[in-house]
Structure 1
Amino acid sequence: MSAAPLIPPLQSEGQVLAEVNGCLGLITLNRANALNALSLAMIRDLTALLKAWAAAPAIEAVVILGAGREGKPAAFCAGGDIRFFHQAALAGDKALEDFFTEEYALNHLIHAYPKPYIALMDGVVMGGGMGISQGAKLRVLTEHSKLAMPETNIGLFPDVGGGWFLAQCPGSSGEWLALTGHAVGAGDAIALGLGDVFVRSGELPIIIEAFRRGEQPSAEHVVATVMERVDLAAPADDLELRRRIDLHFSKPTVLAICESLQAAGDAWSMETLATLRKRSPLMLAVTLELIRRARKLSLAEDLRLERDLVHRCFHLRPGAASETVEGIRALAVDKDHSPRWNPARIEDVTPAMVAEFFASPWAPAEHPLRGLA
């Protein structure tokens, strides 16, 4: 019997590839020239595939990976398509709202997926890439893996469930990752609960070839295909800083964190302070509040809150006045790397400014993610 009926019609014009081998459904993000950043069509294809395979008894496990480019560094997925965010926000395009509603619903689907879902997180894994990998039953990292939630760099906040999964990190490391956007490698990611196993990148082609061509009779065999090549010696570099991270990033406000770093005065503290001073002061405060609230929320509650926040990011100050639109302009459109944040100083952010973001624009029965359990 042909496996073709197991693959629903896809709309992303080759940006998502799907294959079936035995009991395995294999997904390849195939937008390598954009570091496999997610478009709305890709999100819809991923959702359609995962729902179809969840309902198909013949499929017992799913693997997702990112397409590579010859001679270029690997990228699993660098996030969402931020240029699309910029264009859609300025044009008042309804697809922007659809993007976040459908992306967050996909993130929830992955976390709750009823079959083993394995993410091969080689290379860059940022933003939306974290959203489609953190819910995996097996998160596979290599020496090239670089995990980050860098949204504050564009006047946004760590979304795609980032409030929830960063809040699960030990100590105050979630606040550190959320506010600075710092990228961590495989060993640190595993220690922080953001990855599960380390496989050397040279082993990945063998694993992927086995997924594509080898016999895959059961979910257990799919998992074993990875586990037999796991290396226990994952590299680590940043976690000796944990004491300092906890000391500074446990402070109650962004300003208090900055004052603590300034008082410490060592090279790492001053470099970290300089990073924070480049970010949107307002969105730093929103991000810190999100992480602190998310520690008491379920994933579904966090995603609903993030959906409120992202709506506010684009609509409290519409168009070019949005911190997010300005951040994307400076980083990816004009590329002048000189965003004009409002307010410009951390000292000038008020609690009332932050509170506006946390007021839901929807009644509970009308919330676009009301169906998440």
Structure 2
Amino acid sequence: MNAPTAETHVVAEIQGRVGCITLNRPKALNALSLEMLRAITQALLAWKDDGMVLAVVVRGVNKEGPFGAFCAGGDIRFFHQAALAGNPALEDFFTEEYALNHLIHTYPKPYIALMDGIVMGGGMGISQGASLRIVTERSKLAMPETNIGLFPDVGGGYFLSRCPGRLGEYLALTGHVLGARDAMAAGLADGFIESGRLPGLWASLAQTPFENGASVERWCASHLSTTVVPGAWPMPEIDRVFALPDLTQIITTLEATDSDWARATAATLRQRSPLMLHVVLEQVRRARAMGLADDLRMERDMVHHCFHLRPGAQSETVEGIRALAVDKDHAPRWNPPRIEDVTPAQVAAFFESPWAANAHPLRQLG
């Protein structure tokens, strides 16, 4: 038996006049490998200038068949192994992933994401830049990186900071999981369709005589409910607490607030990497004033520091992945251990670029 190749993990085909991308690594919930990033990038670049292709649609498959799982993120076990081995492919992964995120956000043709099932981390990276973001009753959206001692990357600073009010800080720090309607309320999805209707919509793309890209997007949009209902969170409380100047004040205020929401939120934050919580708050606030390319360059600096400020097993990210996905003891040994122990200098180090501007790995992004 040969191991499956990257080509089978990403199926890129033209159906009718639509470029169709299927993420086909169901055993790993379509987690992105470097080879998958390259295959998606290659297809998008080829179709960008192909007059036959009017639009692009992307989906995932689950173990039973099409749809049901979109993408659970980057391949964190690879991050762990590569960081411990000093494998330079780890650096390539993030450079190429963020370049792909930028390509999707700036793609000149409609790019339509069918965000059925789990859409987390890197899955958000390849869907938030879509011109039409479609969710179902099975959708579960999140940027849960603080759970593994990382930060919401793949442009997370950019798209979370543009959520209403201080919702971006809340979602970035807690990794709270959103269903379809909450994702729409947060501005992270555009329309809802029942998952049972996705196969019919997908099949219709090959058979419908579209005249241009806009008509492909209109056709997909015509199948959606776009009614937005308020999110299932206490927005005045989120704005009050998550606008506070720093993380110590946020946690102190939550722990002094007598509500189920405040208690649950404080308990969640106490489990996350204290250092990375401080870094993430700074990231979201800086990103609010940045364009996409500058945000991705900042995140590229940050992710380099996640693995190099403290090399190997001393990295918060390597320790977080170990606890969650490798040893699975769910007992990460964070350093510093408490939110109150993190110093401003420890946070500031993540925002100093290790590269001169003309040598930055993402210097070419517009």
TM bracket, shorter-chain basis: over 0.9
Which residue is 2:155 aligned to?
161
Listed as ranges, the matches of 1:179-328 within 5 Å are 179-232=173-226, 238-239=232-233, 241-328=234-321
Which residue is 1:128 aligned to?
122
Matched, 1:17 2:11: yes
* Selected match of 2:60 from 46, 61, 66: 66
Separation in 2, partners of 1:284, 1:212: 45
What amino acid maps onto 2:255 in structure 1?
A: Q
Name structure 2 gaps, 5 residues minimum.
none
Q: What SS does the aligned partner of 1:64 have? A: strand
Q: Deviations over 1:8-44 (max 9, x none)?
A: xxx6130000111222100000011111110000000
Q: Deviations over 1:48-104 (max 9, x none)?
A: 000110011111100000112228992111100000000000000000000000000
Which residue is 1:3 aligned to?
none
Separation in 1, partners of 2:105, 2:27: 28
1:214 Cα deviation from its structure 2 partner: 4.5
CA RMSD of aligned residues (A): 1.7
Using a 3 Å threshold, how does the CA distance of structure 1 residues 247 and 318 change in structure 2: closer, same or farther?
A: same
Separation in 1, partners of 2:61, 2:205: 15
Name structure 1 gaps, 5 residues minimum.
1-10
1:223 Cα deviation from its structure 2 partner: 1.9
Matched, 1:151 2:145: yes
Listed as ranges, the matches of 1:64-143 within 5 Å are 64-70=58-64, 74-143=68-137
Separation in 2, partners of 1:328, 1:23: 41
Any conservation in 2 of the 1:23–1:219 contact (CA below 8 Å)? Answer: no
1:276 Cα deviation from its structure 2 partner: 0.1
Any conservation in 2 of the 1:186–1:236 contact (CA below 8 Å)? Answer: no
Separation in 2, partners of 1:339, 1:65: 33
Any conservation in 2 of the 1:22–1:217 contact (CA below 8 Å)? Answer: no
Any conservation in 1 of the 2:10–2:22 contact (CA below 8 Å)? Answer: yes
Higher deviation after alignment, 134-143 or 226-235: 226-235
Q: What SS does the aligned partner of 1:168 have? A: coil
Matched, 1:334 2:294: no
What is the percent sequence identity of the aligned residues?
62
Q: Deviations over 1:129-168 (max 9, x none)?
A: 0000000000011111111000000000000000111010
Separation in 2, partners of 1:214, 1:203: 16
Any conservation in 1 of the 2:61–2:67 contact (CA below 8 Å)? Answer: no
Q: What SS does the aligned partner of 2:113 have? A: strand
Q: TM-score under structure 1 normalisation?
A: 0.94
